[in-house]
Structure 1
Amino acid sequence: MTETINRLWQILRVVEKEAHSLQAVMQRRFPGHGAISPAWLEGQLATPEGIDRLESFVGKFSRMQDTLVDKLLPHFLLAVGEEPGTALDNLRRAERLGIVSDPDQWLAMRRLRNHLVHEYVDDLAQLAAAPAKARETAGELYKTFHGIKAYAGKNLPPVDKTQ
Structure 2
Amino acid sequence: MNNLVKHLESELLQLEKATEILRYSYEKCKNINLIEGVGHQELESFEALTGRFARMSDMLIQRIFRLIDNLDLEDSGTVRDRINRAEKKGLISSADIFIEIRILRNEIAHEYKSETIYALFEKVVHLTPHLFKAVESTREYASKYFI
Question: TM-score, normalised to structure 1's length?
Answer: 0.80
Q: Which runs of 5+ in 2 are unaligned?
A: none
- Tell me whether 1:22 sits opposite 2:12 in the alignment: no
5 Å-filtered alignment, 1:5-16, equals 5-16=5-16
Please state how far the C-alpha of 1:87 moved relative to its aligned partner.
0.9
Asked whether 1:82 is paired with 2:74, we answer yes
- Structure 1, unmatched stretches of 5+, are 158-163
Aligned twin of 1:161: none
Q: Give 1:148 deviation, angstroms.
A: 1.0
> Any runs of at least 4 consecutive aligned residues in structure 1 with deviations exceeding 3 A, and if so which?
none
- How far apart are the structure 1 equivalents of 2:6 and 2:75? 17
Amino acid at match of 1:119: Y
The range that moved more, 9-18 or 73-82, is 73-82
Contact persistence 1:36–1:128 (CA under 8 A): yes
Contact in 1 for aligned 2:8/2:67 (Cα 8 Å): yes
Correspondent of 1:71 among 50, 59, 63: 63
Q: Percent identity?
A: 23
Alpha-carbon separation, structure 1, partners of 2:91 and 2:33: 29
| Distance in structure 2 (CA, Å) of the matches to 1:28 and 1:101 | 25
How much is the aligned-residue C-alpha RMSD, in angstroms?
Answer: 1.8
Write out per-residue CA displacement over residues 91-145 of structure 1, whole angstroms, 9 at most, x where no aligned residue. 1111111112221221111222222331247x7xx32121111111111111111
Q: How does 1:2-151 map to 2 (within 5 A)?
A: 2-30=2-30, 33-37=31-35, 39-40=36-37, 43-44=38-39, 47=40, 49-117=41-109, 118-120=111-113, 126-151=116-141
For the structure 1 residues 115 and 87, does the alpha-carbon distance in structure 2 shift closer, same or farther, using more than 3 Å as the test?
A: same
Encode CA deviations 1:72-94: one digit per residue, 9 max, x unaligned. Answer: 11001112332322111111111
The one-letter amino acid paired with 2:19 is A
| Structure 1 residue 15 displacement after superposition | 1.0
Q: Which of 1 and 2 has greater Rg? A: 1
1:11 deviates by 0.6
Higher RCO (CA 8 Å, separation ≥ 6 residues): 1
Counterparts of 2:43 and 2:119, CA distance in 1: 16
Alpha-carbon shift at residue 28 of structure 1 (Å): 2.0
